[in-house]
Each structure stands twice: as C-alpha cells, then as structure tokens.
C-alpha cells in the first residue's frame, strides 16, 4: 500500500485548515480541512449547492477564502503574491474545468493549446514543443493528424481530453478537476474516466476532484469527502465511506445512486 506508506512517511502535499468562503450572508463552504498526500486522489461529492465548486475555486486560487489556511508543500499559498500564485497555476498546479471551453483556447490549434503551458514556462524549441504536443495528444487518444485542428472542430469528449493533455503536459504536481466528466454523454464519460484512471495511475498524479457522480469517485478516488450545505459531513477511504456510510446524508447519497 504505497498510499499508506505515503501517509506515514511523506508530508502532505496540500494541507487545508478551516477554509471558509461566504457570499454575503450565504455560506459557500465553511470550516473545511483536509490533508492530501503525494500521489493521492481526493474526491469531493455532495448535492448541488453543497459548496464543492466554491471549495475547489478557493483551493486553486480563483477566489480568496474569508478564513482558513492552505499550505502547498508547506508554503502558505494565501500569502503568495499574485505573481507567485499565477506561476503556480501554470506550473505546479493544473485546473481542469467542467466546460472544456473554459479551459481551452478555442481559436488556437490543438497543438498550440497543449504547447501553451510549455511556452509559458520558457520552451523555445518549436520541434520539441510539437513533439511533446504530439505525445500528449496520443496519451489522451487524439490522433496525431488532428494536431493542427482547432478544438471547435472536436467533439465534447475530445475537447475534454485535449484540456486534460494541455494541463498535464508540464507535469503538474497537483491537479484540480471540477466535474471533468459532467456534460458528456454516458459512453463518452466512461471512456474519459478510463483514460483519467490510466493517467492517474501511470503518472502518480495528486488530484482533488469534484463530482456528484459516485461512479467517478469509486473508480478514481482514494479518499472521499462528502459535503452538505457547505460543510464536510463525512470523510474517509472511498470504499469505506461508500460501503459503510456513517452520516445519514451519505447514506441517502449512496442509496440514491444504487437505485439509478
């Protein structure tokens, strides 16, 4: 169990304490805390409006939380300057949006989309950039001869795979994903999920993934956090939480999925 070993030997990659974000009087998320160890996948589930996206956007630095601490590799991320934060976002961190249009440049070719992060961190050799892009398109099962096509010519599933390639090309140490399989039809979802699982396993990615699909969680997540009304109501190893839910809300969530 590498996971267990990691948990014992390594320091957490991401450590979150007391994270709270309010929208006026309404609570986005409140008092959220967890540790994510290197190579671990943390799933966040909960019904619509439970605060999953709010939490993820605070973690990824898209919004500033009102309270709490976020330590990445021991560094206090909320104390970073904007320049440092943006450097993190295009280097060590990656963010996969639910809607690929939000995470892709639709006017730029697939190759340019994948190459952008490389160029952002200083790659200046065209042939090498192109080779990496080709390699990454292959890894997300996009044919090499589509490299010069724009994402607008791609299906929804291909766009999402392209977004994933674009994010992973720089070997980020931490990947945030907000409903990466949402908005796709079921057969496409299954294929994408398979692909994600392969990448997570092969690359040993550390991931925080938001979803309301328990099948996604079952397949990808080592650990699971269940949210309701902005708070974490249950947290534990995925299989444990799903097979033996303690909190009434989790029980409801699990049983409602089983009925589908």
Ligand X SMILES: Nc1ncnc2c1ncn2[C@@H]1O[C@H](COP(=O)(O)OP(=O)(O)OP(=O)(O)O)[C@@H](O)[C@H]1O
Q: Which range, of 14-22, 59-67, 95-103, 109-117, touches other proteins by CB under 8 A?
A: 109-117
Asked if 31 interacts with ligand X (CB under 6 A), we say no
Question: Which stretch in 37-45, 64-72, 124-132, 222-230 sits in contact with other proteins by CB under 8 A?
Answer: 124-132
Interacting span for other proteins (CB under 8 A) from 35-43, 50-58, 116-124, 198-206? 116-124
Q: What is the closest distance, in whole angstroms, from the C-beta atom of residue 116 to other proteins in the complex? A: 5
CA distance 110 to 147: 5
54 binds, among other proteins, Mg ion, ligand X, none (CB under 5 to 8 A by kind): ligand X
Q: Which stretch binds other proteins (CB under 8 A): 38-46, 79-87, 174-182, 248-256?
A: 79-87
Does position 211 interact with Mg ion (CB under 5 A)? The reply is no
Q: Are 235 and 223 in contact (CB under 8 A)?
A: yes
Partner interacting with residue 212 (select from Mg ion, ligand X, other proteins, none; CB below 5-8 Å by kind): ligand X
Closer of 51 and 112 to other proteins (Cβ): 112
* Residues of the shown chain interacting with ligand X in the complex, contacts defined by CB under 6 A: 23, 26, 28, 46, 48-54, 212
């Amino acid at each position: 169990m590498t996971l267990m070993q990691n948990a014992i030997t390594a320091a957490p990659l991401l450590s979150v304490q007391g994270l709270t974000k309010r929208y006026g009087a309404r609570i986005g998320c409140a008092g959220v805390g967890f540790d994510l160890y290197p190579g671990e996948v943390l799933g966040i589930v909960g019904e619509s409006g439970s605060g999953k996206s709010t939490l993820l956007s605070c973690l990824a630095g898209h919004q500033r939380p009102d309270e709490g601490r976020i330590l990445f590799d021991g560094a206090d991320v909320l104390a970073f300057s904007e320049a440092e934060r943006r450097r993190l976002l295009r280097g060590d961190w990656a963010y996969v949006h639910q809607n690929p249009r939000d995470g892709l440049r639709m006017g730029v070719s697939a190759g340019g989309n994948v190459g952008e992060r490389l160029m952002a961190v200083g790659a200046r050799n065209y042939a090498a950039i192109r080779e990496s892009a080709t390699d990454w398109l292959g890894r997300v099962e996009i044919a090499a001869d589509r490299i010069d096509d724009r994402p607008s010519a791609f299906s929804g599933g291909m766009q999402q795979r392209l977004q994933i390639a674009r994010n992973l090309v720089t070997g980020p140490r931490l990947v945030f994903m907000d409903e990466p399989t949402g908005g796709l039809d079921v057969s496409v979802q299954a294929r994408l999920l398979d692909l994600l699982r392969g990448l997570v396993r092969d690359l040993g990615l550390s991931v925080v993934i938001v979803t309301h699909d328990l099948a996604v969680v079952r397949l990808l997540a080592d650990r699971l956090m269940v949210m309701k009304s902005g708070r974490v109501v249950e947290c534990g190893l995925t299989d444990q939480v799903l097979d033996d839910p303690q909190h009434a809300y989790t029980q409801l969530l699990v049983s409602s999925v089983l009925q589908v």
